[in-house]
Structure 1
Amino acid sequence: MPQFMKNKVASVDGRISVPSLKSMAALSNSQVSLSQSTLDLAVMEMLNITPQNSKFYFCEGNPITKSGKRRQMQKMILFTMLPIFVLLGLSGSLAVQKGMEYGRAVELLSIIRQSIEQGELIKNLQDERDLSALYVSLLGDENKDILVQQYPITDTTLVGLKFWPELDTPSSVYQTRMKFLNHLNRHRYQLDSLYPVYHANANVHEEISFYSDIITLLIRWLYQMATEVGSGEVWKRLVASIELTTAKQHLGIERSLGGLFFAQGGFENPEEYILYIKHQDIANSSIYSAMRYFYMVEEMFDESLMFNNSVFANIQSMRYIITEKAFIPREPDIDMGHWWIGNMSVEINTIAQIQRTLAMGMLDSLTERQHKDGVSLVGELSVVSFVLLLFPIIINSVYALTSQMQSYSITLAARTKALNKEKRRAEMLLYRMLPKSVAEQLRKHEEVSAEVFKEVTVFFSDIVGFTDISSRSSPIQVVNMLNTLYLCFDARIGQYDVYKVETIGDAYMVASGLPERNGKSHSVQIATMALDLLDHISQLEIPHMPGHQFRLRIGIHTGPVVSGVVGLKMPRYCLFGDTVSIASRMESLGLPSKIHISQLTFEALSEIGGFVMKIREEKVLQNEKFMRLTLRGKSDTYWLLDRTGMRRKTLCRQPDQSSYNSDDGCWQSPPARRDHNVDQLDYYNGPQDFEDHMEDHMETYSFY
């Protein structure tokens, strides 16, 4: 009996708790090139790895291949460029918006300045009109010098215009500034050269009409400019200023007609009265509209009224005289006419002062707005410039970082590949050391408990004369010999539903019916395997002893066992119970090149049928007591000779230790197999082959 079996005799009842593989310190095997610590880490990594599926497949990539690196680089740059483009778009849109606002502020400022310049021109033309009307009236002789002084003031304003408006008139004299100036000078010359006749006729209305037509065109252009401003505070101020310009226009005509009224002692006809009332009403409504458009106009009027209360009182009293006593004959009063003109000039100048205040307010507001918009525009342009400057820096940084990451990935992939290789070796070693089902339980961190199997068949074998052969061989020769033998063993048992439990020295232990139960076929599997091994090994030469074949001694027993994983440092899947001890005793009490089976195995095979067995007639007296105790009184044992229909005596070649598989193993033509069911195997090539085999072995067959 081998030494290692002495510790496996005790019977175990119940289930035994076995620690999981978390506590394993090392796994080793001569065929795996791993250090102890590396093997530990590899196995632990293997047990802890849990594959996870990513939901962001587009973000994944393979940084190992060239195409994968290129695609990953494109994705990284694309993902980096997206927020930059968004920021650039937002900054650009804000910059464009601020640029448009700044441009609008500049445009409004230009419109207001043009309006102020045009308003100044209109004021000078109104002054020239009123002085010219006085000149041709009865009051005009002493106004000659004042009128002549007004001409260069009007011309200077006209020449100083930065923009000449396109007036809505078909007349060619308004097309350019110079044509208009020539037209104005021509009228002045005619007025002066024809003064005696003109004065005699006293055609004030024609003089007023000449200038009023020009002023009306300019005011109409101002309203067109106001429509371009749009709306808002500036637009209200501008419209209020234009309304005040209109009021001045009609107040000037009222001033001229009122002065003529006092100089003549009344109106010559009702048409002059109606014309006076018309211009007075238009002037008042224009002032009221200006107050409605901008509240500060009324405040400034009230303030002016407080400082010039007497003037406005005089104007109201004289207006009462003109409107209520227009058709009552009265004496001409030139002094009264001058007094009227002086008081009306104060009102017109007050309106002009209010206009200048509005204009300065608009300029200040638009200048401040332009400054703010300019600062905002500079800020947005700075952001855009910063983003544009930062863009290549970020892209280059991402490119460099991605390249480094890819380099690290390649290095990591190489190390991972080596680790995976070692992990596969460790996994292979794990499956060699433990049954697959048990190993899977350990990998899942499940507790592996001892398990009772009511009926399994256990196989033991050893080499006859192994001690003598070992004494005549070197250690290397012994190792090569055992390796040759066990490679052939491993290849042959792979054809059957069995599990290799352990090999120590020349002892070889195999069981069937565990860890996966296979019903009643465990005895058939072990018996067929034993016959197969005996035939193959008997033809296999000892490598360093040409002409000497291996001889095996085989023992088989069927019964209950307890299985479990034992040990922490070197965990093993072990079997416990009397069945193991009896199977070992069957092997030790057997004979060379014989298969020694117990009574229970004999009964199991007889129940299935198809095997040739013979009772062992000789008794081993020194073991009869043990056999009776362990076999419950059944001490008979048997020789397993053959199986019906099984091909025998096939030559086993020397195995290749570096590469051993089903195509280059220790058998020549393995029989066809289906699900390890040896009862359904076809071992013969035809009827004649079967008849030849039966004739050769008829003498030794005994059917049960």
Structure 2
Amino acid sequence: MSWLLNHHRVEPSGSRLNRISAISMPSVTPAQLNVAIDEIIKLNPPSNTCVSFFRGNALTLYGKSKQFLKGLAITILPVLLLTGLIANTFITTFSNYSKSAKIRRTLLYSVELGRLIHYLQEERDVSALYLTSIEEKTKLLLLERYAATDKSLEELTFWTIGPTLIREEFQSKEKFLSYLNKHRYELSTLQLSIVHELEMYTTLIRVFITWLYDAITEEQSGSIWRSLVAYQEVVIAKEYMGLERALGTVYYSTGHFSSIDVYLVFLESQDIANATFLSAKRYSDLVHDLYEKNINVRMNTFL
């Protein structure tokens, strides 16, 4: 009877399922489970290499690493892009600042050179006038020109190092000023000719004009290159006009030119001044407008 009761005894379902599982399913190791999952994934292969790299089962260690890299890439990529944009903006801004600073230095140096050339031209004119008419009034005017030239020379922030340094007086600012003062002293003590005086100052001025040519380049001047070239042409035209004026002063003081060569220099100065000033007006409309404005003012003054 006991065997019959045991035969019809109802066991709990959970215990029965565990027994069935133990009989029907063998134990599986984690490595075997990874292999089985990989086999399932291979049934749906990725469309490209990038998807293949980031695809993986999150249950496996290798898949977890891929998922971590994917999340890290999604987080870091925008940061890297933003950093790149900021770096590019900084580099562009710094480059523009450096270029603007270089243009500013070129502009200031050109203005300083132009101012020095201007005062040397005035000193040349008054020196020639002094030799033709040695009067106390002319001497005082000449001393004023000396002071103005010295001040413009002192304000020159940069002394060019180049081929002109083979001349001893151009090796430094101090040597140039010493040379200039020596000549000024000789003007009062020695009997110098007017032509010699004009030639001496003109030689010095032409050296500084060469420096001005070297300073104004398209690479260093950027967008204001045409304006600086116009300024350079005005300075050169002014130099030849000044030489023409000085030689004219000599002519009206003495009644004649000392030689035919001096007369030819006078005519040449006229032609070069006119041609150079015409070139300046072509480079900049401002030069033309200022010229016309001054002409109209002077005409109204005389009328």
Match of 2:298 in 1: 308
The one-letter code of the counterpart of 2:212 is L
The one-letter code of the counterpart of 2:270 is Q
Closer, same or farther in 2 for the Cα pair 1:146/1:307, shift >3 Å?
Answer: same
Match of 1:136 in 2: 131
Closer, same or farther in 2 for the Cα pair 1:303/1:250, shift >3 Å?
Answer: same
* C-alpha RMSD of the superposition: 2.6
In the TM superposition, 1:513-552 aligns within 5 A as none
Residue 246 (1) aligns with residue 242 (2): no
Q: What is the Cα deviation at residue 247 of structure 1?
A: 1.0
Structure 1 residue corresponding to 2:189, chosen from 187, 193, 216: 193
Match of 2:268 in 1: 278
In the TM superposition, 1:544-693 aligns within 5 A as none
The one-letter code of the counterpart of 1:182 is S
Q: Is the 8 A contact 1:261 1:267 kept in 2?
A: yes
Identity level (%): 34
Structure 2 CA distance for aligned equivalents of residues 193 and 158 of structure 1: 24
Residue 172 (1) aligns with residue 168 (2): yes
Closer, same or farther in 2 for the Cα pair 1:171/1:231, shift >3 Å?
Answer: closer
Residue 97 (1) aligns with residue 87 (2): no
Q: Is the 8 A contact 1:305 1:312 kept in 2?
A: no
Normalized per residue, the structure richer in strand is: 1
Partner of 1:268: helix, strand, or coil?
coil
Q: What is the Cα deviation at residue 263 of structure 1?
A: 1.6
Match of 2:156 in 1: 161
Q: Is the 8 A contact 2:125 2:242 kept in 1?
A: yes
Match of 1:214 in 2: 204
Structure 2 CA distance for aligned equivalents of residues 213 and 309 of structure 1: 35
Structure 2 residue corresponding to 1:234, chosen from 193, 201, 224: 224
In the TM superposition, 1:22-61 aligns within 5 A as 31-32=16-17, 53-55=45-47, 56-61=51-56
Structure 2 CA distance for aligned equivalents of residues 140 and 246 of structure 1: 29
Structure 1 residue corresponding to 2:178, chosen from 178, 182, 185: 182
Q: Is the 8 A contact 2:109 2:157 kept in 1?
A: yes
**CA deviation profile, 1:528-559 (whole Å, cap 9, x unmatched):** xxxxxxxxxxxxxxxxxxxxxxxxxxxxxxxx
Q: Is the 8 A contact 2:218 2:225 kept in 1?
A: no
Structure 1 CA distance for aligned equivalents of residues 151 and 215 of structure 2: 23
The one-letter code of the counterpart of 1:74 is L
The one-letter code of the counterpart of 2:271 is D
The one-letter code of the counterpart of 1:243 is E
Normalized per residue, the structure richer in helix is: 2
Structure 1 CA distance for aligned equivalents of residues 44 and 158 of structure 2: 76
Closer, same or farther in 2 for the Cα pair 1:267/1:173, shift >3 Å?
Answer: closer
Partner of 1:69: helix, strand, or coil?
helix
Partner of 1:308: helix, strand, or coil?
helix
Closer, same or farther in 2 for the Cα pair 1:73/1:172, shift >3 Å?
Answer: farther
Closer, same or farther in 2 for the Cα pair 1:267/1:311, shift >3 Å?
Answer: farther
Match of 1:545 in 2: none
Closer, same or farther in 2 for the Cα pair 1:228/1:221, shift >3 Å?
Answer: farther
Match of 1:78 in 2: 73
Structure 1 CA distance for aligned equivalents of residues 207 and 45 of structure 2: 81
Moved more, 102-111 or 159-168: 159-168
**CA deviation profile, 1:586-624 (whole Å, cap 9, x unmatched):** xxxxxxxxxxxxxxxxxxxxxxxxxxxxxxxxxxxxxxx
Match of 2:147 in 1: 152
The one-letter code of the counterpart of 2:80 is F
Closer, same or farther in 2 for the Cα pair 1:30/1:70, shift >3 Å?
Answer: closer
Partner of 1:77: helix, strand, or coil?
helix
Match of 1:267 in 2: 257
The one-letter code of the counterpart of 1:130 is D
Closer, same or farther in 2 for the Cα pair 1:240/1:312, shift >3 Å?
Answer: farther
Structure 2 CA distance for aligned equivalents of residues 166 and 250 of structure 1: 26
Structure 2 CA distance for aligned equivalents of residues 63 and 76 of structure 1: 13
Closer, same or farther in 2 for the Cα pair 1:53/1:68, shift >3 Å?
Answer: closer
**CA deviation profile, 1:264-317 (whole Å, cap 9, x unmatched):** 22323322221101011111111101001111111110011000127899xxxx
Closer, same or farther in 2 for the Cα pair 1:275/1:61, shift >3 Å?
Answer: same
Structure 2 CA distance for aligned equivalents of residues 58 and 158 of structure 1: 72
Match of 2:82 in 1: 87
Q: Is the 8 A contact 2:106 2:220 kept in 1?
A: no
Structure 2 CA distance for aligned equivalents of residues 110 and 232 of structure 1: 12
Structure 1 CA distance for aligned equivalents of residues 174 and 301 of structure 2: 40
Match of 1:106 in 2: 101
Closer, same or farther in 2 for the Cα pair 1:145/1:29, shift >3 Å?
Answer: closer
Q: Is the 8 A contact 2:233 2:280 kept in 1?
A: yes
Q: TM-score, normalised by structure 2?
A: 0.78
Q: What is the Cα deviation at residue 114 of structure 1?
A: 1.0
Match of 2:27 in 1: none
Match of 1:17 in 2: none
Match of 1:258 in 2: 248
Closer, same or farther in 2 for the Cα pair 1:257/1:103, shift >3 Å?
Answer: same
The one-letter code of the counterpart of 2:276 is S
Partner of 2:252: helix, strand, or coil?
helix
Structure 2 CA distance for aligned equivalents of residues 311 and 178 of structure 1: 44
Q: What is the Cα deviation at residue 65 of structure 1?
A: 4.3
The one-letter code of the counterpart of 1:303 is K
Q: Is the 8 A contact 1:167 1:217 kept in 2?
A: no
Match of 2:277 in 1: 287
In the TM superposition, 1:124-523 aligns within 5 A as 124-137=119-132, 139-141=133-135, 142-169=137-164, 170-194=166-190, 197-198=191-192, 203-227=193-217, 229-230=219-220, 233-309=223-299
Partner of 2:163: helix, strand, or coil?
coil
Partner of 2:217: helix, strand, or coil?
helix
Q: Is the 8 A contact 1:174 1:180 kept in 2?
A: yes
Q: What is the Cα deviation at residue 76 of structure 1?
A: 2.9
Structure 2 CA distance for aligned equivalents of residues 185 and 298 of structure 1: 38
